[in-house]
Amino acid sequence: MADQMKLGVLTGGGDCPGLNAVIRAVVKTAINDYDMEVVGFQDGYEGLIENRYRTLKASDVSGILTLGGTILGTSNRADPFHYPVLQGDEYIYLDRSSQALQNFERLGLDALIAIGGDGTMAASNGMTEKGLNIIGVPKTIDNDLWGTDQTFGFDSAVTSATEAIDKIHTTAQSHHRVMIVEVMGRYAGWLALASGVAGGGDIILIPEIPYQLDVVVDKIRSRNRRGRNFSIVVIGEGAKSEGGDMVVKKIIENSPDQIRLGGISNQLAAQIEGVANIETRVTILGHLLRGGTPTAFDRLLATQFGCEAVHLAYNKKFGQMVALKGGNIESVPITEVAGKIRKVCHDTPLLKAALSLDTSLGVDNTDILKAEKALA
């Protein structure tokens, strides 16, 4: 058919449960509703830059709804505007955005559906400005993407973290220990807050609220005095003490986001043992939170996102990112999303719930309540 549309799809950034559900929804909606042709680029924008792709039929996405990861592969280093190329023993960085656009045009694509987090949306915004027709789909276990109430992958990560915290409880009770569980989340505390509340954490420490060691120790001692001779601390990898810095695990030079956080839990454990002489153990969940089968919620959200992305492409509403808004699937301009991080605010309902449960956030809770009233 001369007027048949042709879509491209890619998955960028870190993997998470639900990616395959989006790919499946994109392919099936494109074929069933609009008789479109779909090609999938391998390893995110890297595939578009290096012209690595494959045609996706309905049979290619059959049975992948429940699979974690992505059948297309992904990369968190493939920024078209800052693309790493190895020369000798060192990487140099080149602008390969024009090459990506040329490959898009040579394939006769009408639109590209880019599934990813803030890095992918920033790259997509830049490619949109160069004239590439893009629809974004928000993905991240961190739930820190601006413009949507929730990203797919977050619910699955919260579920995995909560299950781990549940298991930590029994050994904490048996040995009368402080158990610190560190979760991902980068610079936002959504994952720590949600899993901490769901898992019954006694202390939840998030990047948005620098903690005070004396307040943390006082909470542990208070529980001990009341016969609760164990405590569960849930901490986001981007958390830091008041006046301190985030703990950087390593620097990845050939990555758009070079900083890799991790290890704040070990620092806190040493502080607690040094000050209070209370036996403290650490569990860092790390990439465990990215894997596994997506929850039913994430399957549903990912499916709706994928379907809506195709509808937007068909109606030529390019430069948009699909989003969850008040329970509805809508869209927002990618320009409003790029370069922003959605963080936990003092008036976040889940934060209020944590305070009502007498969960410590590492500071005097009355200070948070004052901040909340000031924001009202």
d(CA 236, CA 262) in angstroms, rounded, equals: 9
The number of beta carbons lying within 10 Å of the beta carbon of residue 55 is 10
Active site (catalytic) residues: 142
Cα–Cα distance, 341 to 191 (Å, whole number) = 14
Question: Do 262 and 182 meet the contact criterion of CB atoms below 8 Å apart?
Answer: yes
Fill in the amino acid letter for 306: G
CB distance 245 to 263 below 8 Å = no
| Cα 182 to the center of its chain, rounded Å | 15
Question: Which of the 8 DSSP states describes residue 251?
Answer: E
For every residue of 163-182, DSSP letters joined together read HHHHHHHHHHHHHT-EEEEE
In the block, residue with structure tokens 């954490």: 201
Structure tokens at 265: 């839990």
CB neighbour class for 21 (10 Å; exposed up to 12, middle 13-18, buried from 19) = buried
CB under 8 A, 24+ apart: contacts of 166-171? 166/199, 168/232, 168/283, 169/199, 169/200, 169/232
**CB-CB contact of 133 with 112 (8 Å):** yes
| DSSP string of 18-44, one letter each residue | THHHHHHHHHHHHHHHH--EEEEETTT
